[in-house]
Structure formats: C-alpha cells, structure tokens
Amino acid sequence: MSLYTVMRAGVSGMAAQSNRLSAVADNIANSDTNGYKRAEAEFSSLVVRGAVEDYEAGGVTSSMTYAISEQGGFEYTNSSTDLAVNGSGFFVVSDASGNTYLTRAGSFVPDSEGNLVNAAGYYLMGYSLDAGDPAAVANGLTGLEMVNIDAGELVATPTTEGDLVVNLPVDAAEVAAGSLPSDNVEGSTYSAKTSLVAYDSVGGEVILDVYYTKTGENTWEVAVYDQADASAEGGFPYSSAPLSVETLTFDPATGQIAVGSASALSFAIPDGATVTIDLAGTTELSGDYALVEATLDGNAPSSVASVEVAADGTVYAVYDNGERKATYKIPLADVPSPDSLTPISGNVYQLSNESGDVVVGFPGLAGFGSVVSGALESSTVDLASELTAMIQAQRGYIANSKAFQTGADLLDVLVNLKR
C-alpha cells in the first residue's frame, strides 16, 4: 500500500535530516579545533519500482563526506613546534602503542621525555639525522621514530676546523735560528702572537698560542703551542714540543701567500680531534700586525635553548652557545584520495580501501606541501554556512515529519471506513 511507503519515505527523510544535523553540530563543536576538516551529509534518492499505475515512495538515504583535502587558514603562534602544512600532505603521528595515523593538527609540545606530542596524545614521527640524510620509504611508514627534543641533553663538540687571517708587517725584524719559537728555549723571540680558544673531545677549553716569526725576506715561521704547557712565568720554554710548525712564504709583488707555500695548520688538539686551520687569507703588507679573522668551531658543554623547524621539515636544536644542530627530518604522507580517509577520534585519519595506499616524501618535493613553523592550520568550518545548514535541516526534518503525519492520518481514515 502506497500510504505505507509515504510513511517510510517520511521516516527516511527525518533520518537523513537528523544525520545532516549531527554533522552540522559536530562541525560547530569543532569550529575552533586546529586542523579539523568539516563533515557534510550527502543525500541520494531511493527508488522503489512498483506497478506502472502506482508510485511507490522510496525515500532518501544519507552518507557522510569529509573535506579533508581542503586547506585551512593559518593562525600564527609563538611556539616553533606548532606546525602547519601549506599544501598537500599530512604529518605522521603514532599513539602510545605504536599505531600510526595521519593528521593536519600540528600543535606539538615536548612531553616529560622530550618527545613532541599533540593535544590528543599522538606523537610526531620523523627520521633521525644521526646517521646522515635519510631516504624516505616511499610506500610505507617504516623507519620513523618519535621526534625528540630533549632539552636536558648536554652536547660538547670538539674543534675540527677554523680560519685564522692576519696581516704580518713586511718591515718586521728578522729573528735568527736558535732562538725561534720552534726552538722552544728560554728567550725565544717572535714577531707577533695570537691566542685562540679550542675545545677537546669533552668540551674542555684548550688555549692555543700561535706565534708568527719573520725568519727571512718574505718568509715567516708559524708555531702553535698548548698554553697549558707554558712555563710558570708564561711563554718559553714550554714543557712540550709545538703542536705544529709551518713556514709561510709570500709573493713580494702582492703580499699574498706565494704559490707552493703552506697555507694551513693541521695538528691534533690534546685529548681532542685533529684540527685544520686555514691561513690562506694571511698577508704580508706594510703597517702593523693586525688580526683580521679568527674562528674555530667546537663548543663547551651546552644545553638545548630552543628548537627550529625549517620549511623542508628539518628540525634544528639550537644550543645556549648559538650552535644549531640538525636532529630530525619530518616527512609528509599523502594518499590518492584524501577525502576518503577514515576519521578517528583525536583529529587523525587512517587509511581506507577507498583512500588508496600511502605515499611518503619530504616537504617541498614531489608535490608535497611545505611545513610552516609557528603556525596552526585552522578548522575549515564556516559558522555562517553551518548555521544556515542547521536551519535547513530543521525545516527539512519538520517537513518530513508532516509527510509522515499526513500518511498516518490518511491510513487512520482508511481504517475507520468500516465504522
């Protein structure tokens, strides 16, 4: 009987509008949820084939769709570990059990162990740079580990290289052999001296005394000593031989180091690494001795002061002494049909049969978006649109209930015809 189908159609309409209203309520509730993608109810008709002369009402069915691929706006913050994706891709996160998911919610903070975790308890995953630049596993999420920015770690870096540039006075007096710094005798004479701070393997300071001595026309000796070996009065004689001795020769026409001359110092720092100091910019010109540049790498024990995240996903630990160290590379993951991913509580998504297989790459490469540090992606919910949809769902529900009520009234009339 078609009156029954009228009632069933009204019921399906009310159910569909109820689903729509549920999606609207969820969207409004998450209008301020970072990285949230709005849900929407899509309706499709149900057609029941009856006799040609009769129309059988089928009704309507609803299904939920998610605008996961829609880009949200950015809200900028003061935290460098607040991350957003500008373009395609998702952050890879894991729960405490090691299950991996995808998300666009990037409000990460370090937990008690230094692991970056978001408000829903999901940990940011990345590739460690301890073994050098990583190669992303293109079709899987293996090889990833929790991104850790342990601020309690102390790091000491031994000195391995540097630059030392000076000007040596061309009219300096020559010093005879036997009393040169390399002779290391009491009363050794030199033309100029510079001291440098270097660091051994555990971050201990090593003061290097660098002596410049003119030994002949356009010829200079450079000798390096460990200041800790200096005599009680300071200076010569040192208790140990020089760490390095080199001879520099200069082109008299230009005052630059001559072709074929030594142009660097290479020696082992006590309890440290081998250091190479570039002298290539040293000159022999008129005027006084002048220090132009003196830089050595390495640092004393230093803790992490802050964290920086580059647009390509590289995580840098910035230490108290200003040194920056790349520690992790954050990849992005994507699927052929992002809108078909399955939403999970906590603003994360998991793969579905319709979404396709995951593809992993680095930000800014092969179609992936870039990482924006100090920003969060806003919800894609537009409150004005949702309030309008709420009114439409309410009106649609009432109209369907009227259709159901009318069918019920007519059926009541039909039953009462016998009376």
| CATH code assigned at 217 | 2.60.98.20
Co-location of 123 and 231 in the same domain: no
Question: For residues 309 and 83, what is the distance between their CA atoms, to the nearest angstrom?
Answer: 8
Structure tokens at 192: 């100029």
Host domain of residue 128: 74-154+303-377
- pLDDT for residue 217: 95
On whether both 138 and 264 belong to a single domain, the answer is: no
Residue 45 parent element (H or E): strand 39-45
Q: What is the largest CA-CA distance in the chain?
A: 139
User: 172 and 242: one domain?
Assistant: yes
Res 401: pLDDT: 87
Place of tokens 């920015």: 149
Alpha carbon distance 154, 146 (integer Å): 20
**Residue 118, SS3 per DSSP:** coil
pLDDT at 418: 67
Q: Are residues 91 and 188 in the same domain?
A: no
Beta strands in 147-243 (DSSP E): 154-157, 161-169, 192-199, 205-216, 219-226
User: In this structure, are 145 and 113 located in the same domain?
Assistant: yes
Residue 194 shares a structural domain with residue 282:
yes
Residues 6 or more apart in contact with residue 136 via CB below 8 angstroms: 127, 331, 360, 361, 362
Residue pair 357/155 in contact (Cβ under 8 Å)? The answer is: no
| C-alpha to C-alpha distance for 306 and 323, rounded to whole angstroms | 11
pLDDT of residue 151: 58
- What confidence score (pLDDT) does residue 50 get? 61
Query: How much helix, strand and coil, in percent to the nearest 5, is found in the chain?
Result: 15, 40, 45
One digit per residue, pLDDT tens: the chain, 419 residues? 577 777 888 888 888 889 899 999 999 999 999 999 999 888 888 777 665 666 677 778 888 889 999 999 999 999 999 999 999 999 999 999 999 999 999 999 999 888 999 989 999 999 998 878 887 777 788 889 999 987 556 778 899 999 999 999 999 999 999 999 999 999 999 999 999 999 999 999 999 999 999 999 999 999 999 999 999 988 999 999 999 999 999 999 999 999 999 999 999 999 999 999 999 999 999 999 999 999 999 888 887 888 999 999 999 988 877 778 889 999 999 999 999 999 999 999 999 999 999 999 999 988 899 999 999 999 999 999 999 999 999 999 899 888 888 888 888 887 788 66
Residue located via tokens 């259709």: 403
Report DSSP state, residue 62. Answer: E
Rounded Cα gap, residues 167 and 282, in angstroms = 6
Helix (H, G, I), strand (E, B) or coil at 404: helix
CA distance 124 to 116: 6
Is 102 in the same domain as 200? no
**168 shares a domain with 293:** yes
> Are 248 and 344 part of one and the same domain?
no
Q: Strand pairing partners for 156? A: none
Rounded distance, CA 145 to CA 94, Å? 9
| Residue 198 β-bridge partners | 206
Domain finish residue from 277, 297, 317: 297
Contacts of 68 (CB under 8 A, 6+ apart): 37, 338, 339, 341, 343, 349
Same domain for 391 and 350, yes or no, is: no
Number of domains the chain contains: 3
The answer to whether residues 171 and 291 belong to one domain is yes
Cis upstream peptide for 331 (omega within 30°): no
Give the span between the Cα atoms of 52 and 57, in whole angstroms: 13
- From 297, 327, 359, the end of a domain falls on 297
Closest CA to 118 of 371, 380, 346: 346
- Shared-domain flag, residues 289 and 315: no
Residue ending a domain, choose from 297, 328, 347: 297
Nearby residues of 64 by Cβ (< 8 Å), 6 or more positions away: 19, 23, 39, 40, 41, 42
